[in-house]
Amino acid sequence: MKFIVTIYFILTTTVLLAQDVAVLKYKGGGDWYSNPTALPNLVKYCNDNIDTNINENIQTVEVGSTDIFQFPLLHMTGHGNVFFSDDDAENLRNYLISGGFLHIDDNYGMEPYITKELKKVFPNNELREIPKDHEIFNTAFNFPNGLPKIHEHDGKAPQAFGIFHEDRLVLLFTFESDLGDGWEDAEVHNDPEEVREKALKMGANIVKYAFTN
């Protein structure tokens, strides 16, 4: 038991001290690898604009691996199916309650699958819509109207949902926004520069929040 507690302490301390991000790989067949230029571009933007020192060589970690404890921020995206085994769910829950942060960006079509799987991670916690005055909307840049709209799909307003543990936001689910598309190289989606800038600024808010809370 003492050995297990020691390992858990080391992993927790690593989460709290590191300043890196990673893409989360999951099972189920969904395209966890979509938007390949998104996170590298966001990291460069943060290093240039909010005084972070994040490794621009983005790693991929599997949801069931203890490697996730090396990163205070994990980014997850995709269009389709997601599946967490019981071990995956337990590992992710331990990561989140020990100081980690997960941002899930629905790349359109992910919502019904991820909401079901999150019940395995936090059976007693529901996704709650995050109010527009929450700190995550003004950590580095001010978004008084909440989550910005980046890509149009169903004509719905963008929404930010979260899961809280002991009053700390540990998981952010961005829906009907497609932040990751706005982070990608300009020629991928041909978004106007002002739209990409909004996406990157909101992403910088997420990064800063994850590193400081």
Over the chain, what is the mean pLDDT?
91
The token duo for 212 is 């400081």
The token duo for 68 is 């996730």
β-sheet bridge partners, residue 174: 105, 160
Q: Tell me the pLDDT tens digit for each residue of 118-137.
A: 999 999 999 999 999 999 99
Place of tokens 């100081």: 99
Residues 106, 176 contacting (CB under 8 angstroms): yes
Q: Which domains does the chain have, with CATH numbers?
A: 2-212 (3.40.50.12140)
In this prediction, residue 12 carries a pLDDT of 46
Q: Tell me the pLDDT tens digit for each residue of 132-159.
A: 999 999 999 999 999 999 987 777 899 9
How many other C-beta atoms are found inside a 10 Å radius of the C-beta of residue 164?
Answer: 14
| Nearest-angstrom CA–CA distance, 131 and 138 | 12
Classify residue 111 by burial, with Cβ atoms within 10 Å: 0-12, 13-18, 19+.
middle
In this prediction, residue 18 carries a pLDDT of 61
